A and B are shown apart, each in its own frame.
Chain A
Amino acid sequence: MRVALGGTRIDRSRTIHFRFDGRTLAGHPGDTLASALLANGIHLVGRSFKYHRPRGILSAGAEEPNALVTIGEGAFAEPNSRATMVELYDGLVARSQNAWPSLGHDLGAVTGIASRLFPAGFYYKTFLGSSRTWTGLYEPLIRRMAGLGPAPTAADPDAYDKVHAHCETLVVGGGAAGRAAALEALGQGRVILIDEGVATPPLDGVRLLNRTTAFGCYDDNLVMAVERVNDHLPPGERRGPRQRLWQIRAKRIVLATGAHQQPLVFPNNDLPAIMIASAGLTYLRDFGLLVGRRIVMVGSSDAADELRAAGAQVIEVAAIAAAHGRKRVASVTDGQGTRHRCDAVLMAGGWQPAVHLHSQIGGRLSFDPARHCFVPVVDPSRARLIGACAGDVPVDRPSAPVAGPNAFVDFQNDVTLADIDLATREGFVSVEHLKRYTTTGMATDQGKLSNLNAITRLAHNLGGAPGSVGTTTFRPPYTPVTFGALAAHDRDQFIDPTRTTPMHDWHVGQGAVFEDVGQWKRPRYFPRDGEDMRAAVRRECRAVRRGVGVLDASTLGKIDVRGPDAASFLNLIYANGWSKLPVGRCRYGVMLGEDGMVFDDGVSARIAEHQFLTFTTTGNAARVLDHMEDYHQTEWPHLKVWLNSVTEHWAAAVVTGPLARDVLREVVSDVDLSAAAFPHLSWREGRIAGHKVRLYRISFTGELSFEVHCDSRFARPIWEALLAAGERFGITPYGTEAMHVLRAEKAYVIIGQETDGTVAPDDLGLSWVVSKSKPDFIGKRSLARPELQRPDRKQLVGLTMDAFVDEGAQLTAGAADTVMLGHVTSSYPGAVDEKPFALALVTGGRQRIGTSLYAHFGGRSLRCNVTDPVFYDPEGVRLHG
C-alpha cells in the first residue's frame, strides 16, 4: 500500500506497467519488482522448494531467499531472479515459480501435509531400494515436485562482455562508509567504487560501477564482479552487452558491504507478509509504501514511530510463539499466549555483517556475544573492513527460537528447526556435516538469512556458545552469476582457436570431411559421388597401395634444434643416438619420459652439422617443445642449443605409393630422385614451381614416400603443382582415416592410441631404437628397473578375426574368462583386402603369437588369432623402392 511519506527512490510523477503471472499491474520508475508487488498489495509471490509452502517477500535486498521469479520470456527468460533486486521497467514480464496449476492453488502444497516424510537427510533415508527405483520413481517425482524455475532451452541470445581493470583502491559497497573510504583514498591513486544498487550519485575522481555485484574475492586482491548493464531497461532500449564481468586487481581492497538483519524462528515464520524489520523500513523510506496496516514488531521496535507516522498501527511484542494464516499472516500468538490480529510482521533477529568476501579468501571470524553475530578478525595483510560489515551494527533483542511445525531456519531449502535438532540427535555435530545433511545454507542465497540461526541452534543443542561450532566455508559467488557473464566472449567459435593448414581451402573445395586433431582441422577423407566413409577410405587406401596418394601433413609438429650442442642435447632427449647421423640423413626416434615410458615419436633430420629438424606428432607438438625446454633450462643449461617451434613455417605434402617417384619427376628440379642417389631416410633440397622445397624420404604408409616440405606461403601453388603432375598417374588425396589404416598395417604406432603412458619401447617392439652405447638419456635408468624386465608386460601384437572388433575391446584367453589380458588399440578393415585386422597390447603378447584370444565388446565375444603386428611388407622392400 503506497503512502504519502517516503519514496526517495521512486518517481511518483510517472506510472509504468508490468505483468505478474498474467496480471497487468502499475508501478513507478525506481521501483523494484518486489516494491511494486507490495504496492499492489501482493505478498504471495512463490512456492517453496520442497513443501510448496506459500512464500512472500522476506527482505529488500540481495539476501532474499523467497521471492524468486522468472523474468522475461522465451530464450530471454531468466529464472530464479530475486524480485528484490529486479528493477522495474515498463513492459516487464514476471512469472512465479514452482507452482501448479497456479500460485494460489498449488496442488504441490499437499506435500506440506506430508512434510513429516521429508525430514533432515531424507535424501539418504527415503530413497532406499534398487537403482531402478531411484531412476524410475523417486527422481522424476522429486524433479517435478521440487525445484526452482526452469532454465530456457534455447541458446542465450544476449551478448556479454568481460573487462580487466587495475586500481590502487577498490571499495566494495556504496553506502556512507564506502563513499567516505573512496573519497579518502583519492590521494593514493586510482579508485574504483562498486555498488550493487543505483542510487549512489557520482563522486569526483572515483570510477563508480553501479548495478555491480562483487561476487568473489581471490588471491592477491583479485575481485570478480558482474555489472548488470542492461537488465533494468525495456528490451527495446537495450544497447551493447547485457552484463559485463569485471576482473579487478587492486593494491588495496576496502569492504563496506553492510550487514543483513536476520529472521526469527517460530512456527509459520515463513508466511507471506512476515518480513525482516529493516526491509519494512526500506520499503517505506525508499519506495513510500507500508507492508501492512496492522504490523506486529518483534525483536526491535526502533522504527515503530516512523511506521505509525506513515499511517500503520504497530503492535510491539517481545516474542512470537507462533504465526497464523494461510496465504498471508493473519495473526500471531505472542510469548504470553495473547493473540494479535495483524496483516504483517516485522522481525529483528540481529544483524550479521556481510563478511563473505573477507571469508572467501580465508579471513577469519569470531563470535561477538554482545551483538550475537560473527564479526571479522582484523588482519592487516587482508582487505580492510569498515562500517556494518566490520561489526558496527545495531543491537536487536532477538527472542529465542520456538520449536514447532514449520519453524523455518532455511527458507529457500525448506529446512526447519526440527531438522536441525534431528540432525544433532543423529550425530551430525560438525557444522559442515550439518550443512550437507540438512542442506541448510546450500541454496542459491548461500544462507545469508539462515546460517546464523542454524549455527546458533546447533551450538545450543550441543550445550555450547554459538561461536563454539565455527562456521561453514564461504565460497564464491556471493550471489548467483549467469553463465553468460562468466563465458562472455568465449563462446561458439571463440572458445578455442582453430588451426588450419595453407591447403585448407582446397580441401574444403574438394568436399573433405574434417576431424579435429587438437586445435587442427585435418581432412579425414575426401568422399566422391555420394561415397560413405568406408567407401572413400577404401578407394584412398587402394590408391596409395597400388598407385599414388597425397596427404596434407602440414600439421606435423616441427622443432628447429640448433647450436653446437644440438646433437648432444638430442642424445639426452631421445632414446636413440644422433651423433653419427650425417647431414642429409633422417632417423626415426623415440622420446621417453624419465619413467621410461614412450612419450613421443617421430623422425628428425640433420639439416647441418649444428642443426636438426625434429618432427613430433600433431597433437603433441607443444608438449614436446615444453619437455625439451624444461630439461634444457632446468637440467642442462650448459648445453649451447636453441629450440624453436617452426610448425607453422613449414607446410608438408606426403606423396606416397609405388608411383610417387614418377609424379615427383614431373615437377621437381635440382634433385636426383633415384633410389641410389636419394635413399630411404634421407633428405634433399630441390625446387617445385620455382619455389625451394625440402624432400624427405620418410614413410608412414609402408610405400615409397616423399614428404615435400616448403615455406607455408608457397604451399598452395606447390600442392596444386603436385596434383597437376600426378593427374595422369591417378594421384588421390587421402585423409587421416586412410593414413591410420595404412600405418596400422605396418604396425607404426600412434602416440596416445597404442600408448597410454604405461608403454615402454620394448612393449612396442621398438628395442632396436634404444641406444645401448649412450651412457645416459631421459628414461634410460628406468628401463633397467625390474618392473620393465618382466616377461608378462603388455606387448604389441596383431590380431586377425572374421568380424570387425571395437577399439578398446578387452581380451581374455577363453571365451568365458574374466581375467583381462589386454585390449585392442587399433582396428580397421585391411587397406586392399578389407579383411578385419587389429593391433592390441597383450600380456606376454609376443609369446602368444599363433594362439587365440577372445575380444569382448558390446555384449559379444569374438575369437581372434594373435599374429605379428606387421601385416604388410615385413621386409620393408616397398618403402625402400
Chain B
Amino acid sequence: MLTIVCPHCGARDQTEFRAGGEADRPRPADPFALTDAEWADFLFMRGNVMGLQRELWVHAAGCGKWFSLTRDTRTHRFAP
C-alpha cells in the first residue's frame, strides 16, 4: 500500500485516496471547437504510459483535496 502525500494533510495511506486518472488533460475551453473525432479522443483515449506519469488523486476519505503528482507506473514510486 502506497503512502501518498496530500498537499493539505501530509503523508497518509493510499486507502484514504482515490485515483482520478491521468492529469494535465484539461477539459477543452470550447468543446464545440473540436471535431467529433477530436472530442472522442479527449473523452475516451488515455496515454497509458509505462514510466513517469502525471496523475490526479483526491484525498477522498480526508480533506477532499484534488491534486496531481508524478508516479512511475513501473515501480509505483512518486517523483518528488
Residues of A within 8 A of B (CB): 218-220, 222, 249, 362, 594-595, 626, 629-630, 633-635, 776, 780-782, 784-786
Contacts and interface: CB of A to CB of B under 8 A. Distances in A.
Instruction: Bin the interface of chain B by size.
Output: 20 to 34
Contact of B32 (A219, A630, A633, A784): A784
Interface in B28-46: 30-32, 34, 36, 39-40, 43
Given A220-B1, A785-B36, A785-B39, A776 B31 contact: yes
Given A362-B75, A782-B39, A629 B64 contact: yes
Q: Lowest 9 CB-CB distances: which A-B pairs, in order?
A: A781-B31, A633-B66, A220-B3, A219-B2, A635-B27, A222-B1, A219-B76, A218-B1, A634-B66
B19 to A, nearest CB: 12
Contact of A635 (B26, B43, B65): B26
B8 to A, nearest CB: 11
A596 to B, nearest CB: 9
B56 interface: yes
Contact of B40 (A249, A626, A780, A785): A785
Contacts of B69: none
A222 B31 CA distance: 44
Contacts of B56: 634
B11 to A, nearest CB: 9
A364 to B, nearest CB: 12
A630 B39 CA distance: 20
B58 A249 contact: no
Interface of B: 1-3, 20, 26-27, 30-32, 34, 36, 39-40, 43, 56, 58, 60, 64-66, 75-76
Nearest to B75: A362
B31 A626 contact: no
A594 B43 contact: yes
Contacts of A362: 75
A783 to B, nearest CB: 11
B1 A781 contact: no
Nearest to A777: B31
A629 B63 CA distance: 11
A786 B36 contact: yes
Contacts of B20: 630, 634
Nearest to A776: B31
Contacts of A222: 1
Contacts of B60: 626
A784 B34 CA distance: 11
Nearest to A632: B66
A831 to B, nearest CB: 40
Contacts of A629: 58, 64, 66
B1 A219 contact: yes
Nearest to B76: A219
Contact of B58 (A630, A776, A785, A786): A630
Contacts of A220: 1-3
Nearest to B74: A362
A785 B1 CA distance: 41
A625 to B, nearest CB: 9
Contacts of A626: 58, 60
28 contacts: A218-B1, A219-B1, A219-B3, A220-B1, A220-B3, A222-B1, A249-B3, A362-B75, A595-B43, A629-B58, A629-B66, A630-B20, A630-B58, A630-B66, A633-B66, A634-B20, A634-B66, A635-B26, A635-B27, A776-B31, A776-B32, A780-B31, A781-B31, A781-B39, A782-B39, A784-B36, A785-B36, A785-B40
Contacts of A594: 27, 43
B6 to A, nearest CB: 13
A781 B76 CA distance: 35
Contacts of B26: 635
A633 B1 contact: no
Contacts of A784: 32, 36
B5 to A, nearest CB: 11
Contacts of A776: 30-32
Nearest to A247: B1
B34 A781 contact: yes
A220 B1 CA distance: 7
Nearest to A218: B1
A776 B29 CA distance: 9
Given A219-B2, A635-B26, A635-B27, A781 B32 contact: yes
